[in-house]
Structure 1
Amino acid sequence: MTHQFRFAQIAAFLAVGAIALTACSGGSQSATVTVTVAATGPPTAIGPTSTAASALSPASSSPPATGTLARLTSPASSPAATTPVLPTADRPTISTVPTPRATGVSPITPIVVTATAGTLVDLSVTNPAGRLISGDYSTDEKTWTSSEPLAYDRKYSIDAVAATAAGRRSTLTTQFTTVKPAQTVFPSFFPNPKLTTVGIGQPMVVIFDKAPINRAAAEKTLTVTTVPAVKGSWYWWDNRTLHYRPQNYWTPGTKITVAAKVYGVNFGGGMYGEIDRTLNVTVGPAKIAKIDDATKKMQVYIDNKLVRTVPVSLGRNQTLDVNGKKISLVTPSGIYVAQEKYAVRQMSSATYGLPTSYDLGYDSKIPLAVRLSNGGIFIHSAPWSVADQGIRNVSHGCININPAAAQWFYNTFSYGDIVQVTGTSTTLAPTDGFSDWNIPWATWLQGSAL
C-alpha cells in the first residue's frame, strides 16, 4: 500500500464530513443538520497532534475551540442533540524502543517504531548530522526496525506519522542518546591477519588492549567457525589474552574464521568494545618434528610421512648458580609450536640472567633461527657444534642443527608447525609461548570464563 493511496483515503473522508444533511419533518418542514468533529482532548507525546476538525466543518462555520466536543445543530424547537464522541481506539498510537528521551542506549540495540491501530505512513530516524538511519518495515507496515549499528555518545531523532484506514493521524517526534563509554577495548589477533596459512598446532589468539572487567561478557563476543566443524574452547592465558584450540591438532585443510563482535558490548565498569574484527586462516599440511634426546636425532614428518632425519645437539645437562639465581641449560621436554622466524637473530645470554662476561656467556648473531618458546628456545643453524650434533648436548638450551639442515628447516617450517622434544630431565612450562598442547583437555576446558 502506497502512502499516496492512504492520503487519498484521508481526503475522501474529509470531503464527506463537510456535506450538509437534510432531515424531513412532517412533509413540508425541513431542517439542516451540520456535523463538526474536533479533537477530544489535547495531544500527547504519542497521540495525535492535529485533527480534521476544520476540514469537517462547513466553510461558513467557525471551527470549535481545540479540545471541545462536536455537537449536532437543529431548529430551536427541536430538543438538544446527543454529542457524538470519536472512540480513542479509532486513533493510532506510536511507541518506540528505546523509549522517548532515553539515555545510555546501547548502540547495537535495534530501534523499533510501532504503530498500534494504524500503519506507519512516514518515518525518519536521523543522526546528529541529519543522515538517515537505515531500516526495514514489517509486511503490514505497522513496525519499522533499524538495520545498522549506531555510534557511541550520540543523540538520535525519531519523527513518525501513523494513520488509520479512516484517515485518523498521529505524529511523534522524540530523541534518545546512546551510551558514552568510560573507555573502549580493542581486540587484536594472532596469527597476524596477513598470515593466511598456519600449521596444525596454531592456537587462535585474541589479545584485548585492556583487561576486561567482565571476562564472561568479553568471551561471549568471540566465536570460532570451522569447515569442517570441530569443537574447541577458549582459555584465558592472562587477564588480556585468550587462546582457542580443539582437543587435538587441527586437521590439514580446515578453514577457520575467528570473529570478535565486541562493538557495543559492555565489558563492565563502563568499558565497551571498540570495533568488530574478523580473522580467516587455513590450516596447512601436518608438519611435526620429533626430537629424541636418547638418539640425539630429529625426525621430520609431513602429512605422516618421514621426510628427513637430522642430528641435533640440545642444551647441556647443567644448572648454573648466578648471583643466587638457578639457571638451567637443559632443553625442556614438551610440545612446542613454531612462532617466529629470523634469517639472523641477535641472541644474548644476559636476557635470561647469565652475564655475557661469564665463561658460558654470549652475545652473538645467530643464523636461520626459528623460535619455539618465549623462554628463548630456538632451532637454529650451529656450524660451531656440528661435530657434537648427534653425539652430545652442548648448547645453552636451543636445538643446534647443521647449516644445510637449518636452511631446509627454516624454509619448510613456519607458524603453527609442531616440534616435540622427549627424553630430557625438565618439562616445558605449559604457558611458555604456544605450549597449549601440553595442557590436558579437561584442564583446558576449565580455563574458559563461560
Structure 2
Amino acid sequence: MRNRRLFAGLAIAAATVALTPACSGGGRKATSAAADAEITIKPADGRRTVRPDRSVEVTVSGGRLDEVDVRQDGTTTPGAFGADRRSWRTMWTLRPGVWYQVKALARNSEGRVTAVMSRFRTAPAAHRIGIADVTPQAGEKVGVGMPIIVTFDGPVGDRAEVTRALEVKADKGDEGAWHWTSDRQVVYRTHRYWQPHQNVVFTAHLAGVRAAKGVYGTADVTRTFAIGASNITVADARTHRMRVDHDGLVRTFRISMGKGTTREYTTTSGIHLTREKKPVVQMESPNCKPDQPDCDYYKENVHLAVRISMGGEYVHQSVGEYDALGHRNASHGCVRTSPAGARYFFGIAQRGDIVKITGTSRRFVDEPNDGDWKYWNYSWSDWLKDGDL
C-alpha cells in the first residue's frame, strides 16, 4: 500500500510538472515546450496469458528512463537498463501463473516526468520441472576440484534454455562452464582448479524456464558453499611416493599401490576427486570366494580410509606389509601409506580434493562405474563441446 501511495505521489508530481506554463517574463514570445516522454511496457497492461519464458521490456521515446520497478507479490524482479537508459529488460524468466506489477518513470529533455503503471498475469505451467539434487550441499566446505552437479526431477529437452538460467558467482571470479552428462544432469567445472578459501553461490533461475514443450520450471534454487584449503596430491606407482600439497605446504609419504596381478588389482591412473572419508571401512574381494582356488581372497578392516573412486579405490593406512611402502606395489588397488601419512591425509581431506594417480596401465577415465567424478580427465576444449565426453 505504501508503494502504491508513493508511486501515485510521483505520478501527481509528474502531472504538475507537465502543466507548468512554458513561458518567460519580459514580454517575449514563449518557445514551444518539448514533448513528454512516452513509455511503452511489454507485456501490455491487463494481459492474463503471458508466456513465463518471455521477458518484461520497458522502452521510452523522447526521454530517458529514471526508474523501473517490476514486482511479483512484493518481491522485486531483477532487470537492467540499456546503455542509453532508453530501455530496460528483466534478467531472468518469470514465474508461471502469477500477477506482476510494473512501474516506470521517465524524464524528457526538459526534466518533466512521465509515470506509467501496468499489471499482467503469466500463464500457468501445464507441466513442471524442478531440481532433485544439488552437489555440493548448502554450507559445505569442499576442495578445489569440486564440481557443481545439478540433477533435475525430469528430462530436459531444451538444454540451452536451462543452461542460460544457471548462474555461478565465485568471490574470486573463477571461470567455469556447464556440461550435460545426461538429459537430467548437468555439471559445472572450472577451467582451472578453484582458487582456495572463497565462497561460491549457485543459483538456478528456473522459474519460468521452458525446459521442454509445455514444461516449465516454477521455483528458483540457490546454494552457497565454500572452497576450503587447496589439497593437491600426486601419487606415483613407479616411485612409490605420494606428494601432498596442502595450501603450499608440501609433504611426501611412502606408498604402495595395486599389485597389478589382475585388472581389478591395478590402481587406476588419472585425476580422481576425494568423495568421502571414514575411520574404518571393511573391504572384501569383489569377485573372489574364500574357498575359490587360484583366488587372492581378502576381507579386512582398513583404517583412515578416504574414497577416491566408486570402484572401491581409497587412500588408507596400510594393513600390514609396511615393508612394501616406498618399495613395491602390494595392495588390491588402493593407495596404502604409513600410519603417519594416513593420519595426515585423512585429517586434511575434504570432498573434492585432487588426487592424481600416475604410473599404471589402467585408466580411470575408462572405468564404467556409475557416479565416478572423472571431470578433470578431459581437456577444457572437450568440456566445452556438446555431447558425451
Which residue of 1 is the match for residue 337 of structure 2? 401
Task: Tell me whether 1:370 sits opposite 2:306 in the alignment.
Answer: yes
The runs of 5 or more residues in structure 2 that have no matched partner are 1-7, 17-39, 61-69, 78-88, 102-117
Which residue of 2 is the match for residue 213 of structure 1? 157
Task: Tell me whether 1:201 sits opposite 2:145 in the alignment.
Answer: yes
What is the count of residue pairs matched by the alignment? Answer: 324
Which residue of 2 is the match for residue 318 of structure 1? 261
Which residue, 326, 346, 349 being the options, matches 1:410? 346
Q: CA deviation at 1:268?
A: 0.5
Task: Tell me whether 1:429 sits opposite 2:373 in the alignment.
Answer: no
Which residue of 2 is the match for residue 340 of structure 1? 276
TM-score after normalising by structure 2: 0.68
Which residue, 248, 255, 259 being the options, matches 1:304? 248
Taking only the aligned residue pairs, the percentage that are identical comes to: 28
Q: CA deviation at 1:378?
A: 0.8
The Cα RMSD (Å) is 4.2
CA contact (8 A) 1:335 1:438 kept: yes
CA contact (8 A) 1:157 1:175 kept: yes
Q: CA deviation at 1:365?
A: 3.8
Which residue of 1 is the match for residue 37 of structure 2? none
CA contact (8 A) 1:370 1:378 kept: yes
- In structure 2, C-alpha distance between the alignment counterparts of 1:294 and 1:354, rounded to whole Å: 27
Task: Name the SS for the 2:182 alignment partner.
Answer: coil
Which residue of 1 is the match for residue 112 of structure 2? none
Q: Deviations over 1:337-374 (max 9, x none)?
A: 11211222343433xx4456543334444322111112
Q: CA deviation at 1:192?
A: 1.3
Task: Tell me whether 1:285 sits opposite 2:229 in the alignment.
Answer: yes
Task: Tell me whether 1:360 sits opposite 2:296 in the alignment.
Answer: yes
Task: Tell me whether 1:243 sits opposite 2:187 in the alignment.
Answer: yes
The one-letter code of the counterpart of 1:378 is Y
CA contact (8 A) 2:50 2:120 kept: no
Which residue of 2 is the match for residue 270 of structure 1? 214
Specify whether residues 317 and 110 from structure 1 end up closer, same or farther in structure 2 by C-alpha distance, changes over 3 A only.
same
Specify whether residues 267 and 283 from structure 1 end up closer, same or farther in structure 2 by C-alpha distance, changes over 3 A only.
same
Specify whether residues 208 and 387 from structure 1 end up closer, same or farther in structure 2 by C-alpha distance, changes over 3 A only.
same
Which residue of 2 is the match for residue 233 of structure 1? 177
* More deviation, 101-110/237-246: 101-110
Which residue of 2 is the match for residue 162 of structure 1? none
Which residue, 128, 133, 136 being the options, matches 1:183? 128
Specify whether residues 315 and 206 from structure 1 end up closer, same or farther in structure 2 by C-alpha distance, changes over 3 A only.
same
CA contact (8 A) 2:277 2:305 kept: yes
CA contact (8 A) 2:92 2:205 kept: no
- In structure 2, C-alpha distance between the alignment counterparts of 1:420 and 1:174, rounded to whole Å: 57
Q: CA deviation at 1:406?
A: 1.6
The runs of 5 or more residues in structure 1 that have no matched partner are 10-93, 115-124, 136-144, 159-172, 320-326
